[in-house]
Chain A
């Protein structure tokens, strides 16, 4: 399995990449870690004639916290993020980054590529929904900010304009009384998830849930969220029954596609379980417990 022949270009700057991409037009793709794009090319899902490598653009992989804002450069790799100070602070970020595939993929693949591929099996987009992240995007027409929830139009399709690139991911650091958990169900460690769930919630006095975000991955053609599910829990003390009900509501909104990873009803059962697992871990983290998050696999 080899990709069809293509031309390789290396961009030295963001502007250089953007002008090259607009010049080359439709037949060009931005190349980040290549862990999705090269695979697609090998499988002939995609046959670009030009690749513009973003890998040497300086400063696009910086991970920082300024005040209560967290910023992650689009070229930051899964491994870099999972090993960063941000991951020390927010265990949900470590859950996600350290559970992706294997060491090779984690040290090549980037968060920008995971977003740019608009693949609903990718972990970062699901996680970033629970953190209400915003994306800074730069293209020939300038820079704009897009909420992560608006990035994906359909499976494998983003709303990005031609030659527009994601440069940075930004989100607000959740308050101290907030806890998060990201968990994925896998058939084995280096596999895409069968299903995944992220939960970020904030508990006030008396364990009243003042805020919650839930997102599901590999649960349909796009990341799945559900206001209905969140409303069931928001403003109330969490009970087993309400968590069950919320899980039921968001799973009802999911449209998992049957494939080799599982049939539809099995995936629903797994999603239900993952939501409950993630809520449980998030609550315990709110209470100050240290829990090593892990992707579940057998």
Chain B
């Protein structure tokens, strides 16, 4: 035994709940990170895409001959080069089009030596279009004589979802109060700081390597393959650091197969990277929707039913966006104890940019409606909203109509914590009274809550994640995980968990998750699942390695394995912490003993949940969680400005793992939600984006962030790693309705159509001043 090292025993400590920095943080903060956008490969060509720039048209002719002749141009592709290579959720998309269905449709693509040459080549392509009348709202798309956007999707109908539970007519009849409103939520986009980018390269055997920003590398292969006429097994996905994704990289978008088609044709690596303007015009959007919601209750404040009729603006193609009703349905049916629920959603093709998935995935849209209707009902009942919420809040052990089993439910505690910390009830009463008084500035407080899956979402046959963990002869650990890092911080979580189980310094863990040929399968970063699923996987793998190490130590020291522990890079005695052997020394002995032993383990973690299923009645997540936000605002009634003074958030996170990462996720989620509520909006005029730049598309920035008061409720999820639940989407989901409820509290005006821009708010206030008939609604 090593006598030179100090003999002081090592106490048992834990990293769980501590603040741990992301391993990539120093590189990112100092500008050292090489993002995919920075990558250059030898021999690499630059690919550029010619977009249609009109919403709906036939292509009469296209002439690329001049572009092809330009020196430095290696190839020009058009619709005929992608014919029959359909891809997408319902196979309605191709990489290069023969017909225009939305402004950004990809008509031709060029690969050239430099970006300048590619740009010049684009200018030499001549296309003759015959413009067609378009469809720009889902309502118009449903009209009998509406222009048809896809020949094989009659009546412009894309996906349809329905869920019915209970007798709606009877429940309505039994309701003493019913609120009935139409909410119209708008187009926003992700605004990733790193614009969309892909680099494709084929080897001589026909294997494609694609450097991608994808957040779901394994199903990505499956989705990309048909766009190229390839077998998914012949695609290798590399994942260099990305500048944000937020759901926007949860599908294949045309620029990716275009990069591959150009690479194939030229035999050279090809990089396609969007300009900021292209990013605004061509990346997916959050799904806009018209939500007709009705909610009822009895005089004593018991909810009786909720129904939602949702019309979704699909845009020109069906990406994952139109599947968001699966999640919308859950808020509608599972948000508070509602005995009777009907949900019906129809996505309609339009000539608008098409929707993809976006943090919050449908729940953002429906919670904007449900949380405001909770507020309206409370008012009509003349009840403190918090009491109304508490009266209808589910408890642990309850099951929603969709069969979501709320094993550990902390809605009650979230409500009470947020209300208490913000002094909600007293302020709500005070501001309601002050509404009628004179005064330019009006204060308001608003509360909103929601439910979201927090233990994955089994929308595929498996919701699992693979992990390979190896410990080398210096006690350095490599974790090869299927979980992607897109900035959300799973690397720090896995790092922390593995260091915790193996008793080693955080810096001694390396995470490998950027190569689909190396890392094992995983569903992807979505549904707030990664900490839960990949965290569990990492923990299980680490526990296996730990057991193997302790068993070996037990054999060598003749101390029983259960009396040993790993701490501070040593094997120690569990009871007193006395050092037994240095871990790296033990590992070397294991390697070099007569029967050598490597510490390398694998794990495949599949959460205990049920597949979503066609009738949407299943316990599809291994955990569910709630968040409550209270927003405090000041409205300047002269200019309509809303200043957000403070957000109090109480969220059931199961258990805090990396506190700093969690804070980051909640704060970032709130920032996205605030932009949705207050300022972000894609201004579309007949399918054409009018504000494709940050000058005109207003993302909130650091100076506009309000004071935040975050409360983490630890419900200790039995299935989660150390009790943790997924957490990242809820903060984005609840913020907009909390703001809208606060604005109502301040002004008596309901806003059904976000964003609540100063002009919109000012106009509503002026209109009301003109009519002087008390509370009214915006138009």
What is the interface of chain A, defined by CB distance below 8 A to chain B? 1-2, 102, 185, 187-192, 260, 262-263, 266, 269-270, 272-273, 296-298
Contact = CB atoms under 8 A, between A and B. Distances in A.
A273 B638 contact: yes
A188 B698 contact: yes
A82 B698 CA distance: 25
B677 to A, nearest CB: 11
A188 B638 contact: no
Contacts of B763: 266
Nearest to A101: B695
Nearest to B704: A188
B762 interface: yes
Contact of B643 (A263, A266, A298): A298
Contacts of B766: 269
A25 B275 CA distance: 33
Contacts of A298: 641-643, 678-679, 704, 757-758
B703 interface: yes
B639 A273 contact: yes
B692 to A, nearest CB: 10
A260 B691 contact: yes
Nearest to B695: A191
A262 B759 contact: yes
Contacts of B694: 190
Contacts of B758: 185, 187, 262, 266, 270, 298
Contacts of B700: 188
Contact of A1 (B277, B636, B699): B277
B639 A270 contact: yes
B5 interface: no
Q: Select the residue from B116, B695, B700 with max chain A CB neighbours within 10 A.
A: B695
B696 interface: yes
Contacts of A269: 638-639, 762, 766
B757 to A, nearest CB: 8
Interface in B633-653: 636, 638-643
A266 B694 CA distance: 22
Contacts, number: 60
A298 B642 CA distance: 6
A188 B699 contact: yes
Contacts of B683: 260
Nearest to A186: B698
A36 B190 CA distance: 27
A258 B432 CA distance: 35
A262 B704 CA distance: 20
Q: List the 10 closest pairs (A to B, CB-CB), nearest first.
A: A266-B759, A298-B641, A273-B638, A187-B698, A189-B703, A260-B696, A188-B698, A273-B639, A262-B759, A189-B701
7 contacts: A2-B119, A188-B698, A188-B700, A273-B638, A298-B643, A298-B757, A298-B758
Contacts of A270: 639, 758
Contacts of B640: 266
B766 to A, nearest CB: 8
Q: Select the residue from A187, A270, A272, A298 with max chain B CB neighbours within 10 A.
A: A298
B690 interface: yes
A150 B125 CA distance: 47
B180 to A, nearest CB: 31
A185 B758 CA distance: 10
Contacts of B642: 298
Interface string B742-779: 00000000000000011100110010000000000000
B639 A185 contact: yes
Given A190-B701, A266-B640, A298-B757, 20 more contacts: A1-B275, A1-B277, A2-B119, A185-B639, A185-B641, A187-B679, A187-B758, A188-B698, A188-B700, A189-B701, A191-B695, A192-B695, A260-B690, A260-B691, A266-B758, A269-B762, A297-B641, A298-B678, A298-B704, A298-B758
Contacts of A273: 636, 638-639
Contact of A263 (B275, B690, B704, B759): B759
A262 B759 CA distance: 7
Contacts of B119: 2
A230 to B, nearest CB: 22
B679 to A, nearest CB: 6
Given A260-B691, A298-B679, A188 B701 contact: yes
Q: Select the residue from B641, B691, B694 with max chain A CB neighbours within 10 A.
A: B641
A266 B762 CA distance: 8
A249 to B, nearest CB: 18
A190 B758 CA distance: 17
Nearest to A297: B704
B696 A2 contact: no
Q: Select the residue from B275, B690, B704 with max chain A CB neighbours within 10 A.
A: B704
A297 B639 CA distance: 11
A297 B699 CA distance: 12
Nearest to A295: B703
B704 A189 contact: yes
A191 B697 CA distance: 10
B26 to A, nearest CB: 22
A188 B700 CA distance: 6
A25 B277 CA distance: 33
Nearest to B678: A298
Given A266-B759, A269-B638, A297-B704, A2 B695 contact: no
Contacts of A1: 275, 277
Q: Select the residue from B678, B699, B701, B759 with max chain A CB neighbours within 10 A.
A: B759
A179 B684 CA distance: 44
A128 B275 CA distance: 37
Nearest to A194: B758
A206 to B, nearest CB: 27
A263 B683 CA distance: 14
Contacts of A263: 759
A219 to B, nearest CB: 15
Contacts of A296: 639, 641
B693 to A, nearest CB: 9
Nearest to B759: A266
Interface string B716-759: 00000000000000000000000000000000000000000111
A267 to B, nearest CB: 9
A195 to B, nearest CB: 10
Contacts of B277: 1
Contacts of B643: 298
Contacts of B678: 298
Interface string B513-552: 0000000000000000000000000000000000000000
A11 B416 CA distance: 67
Interface in B344-384: none
A260 B690 CA distance: 9
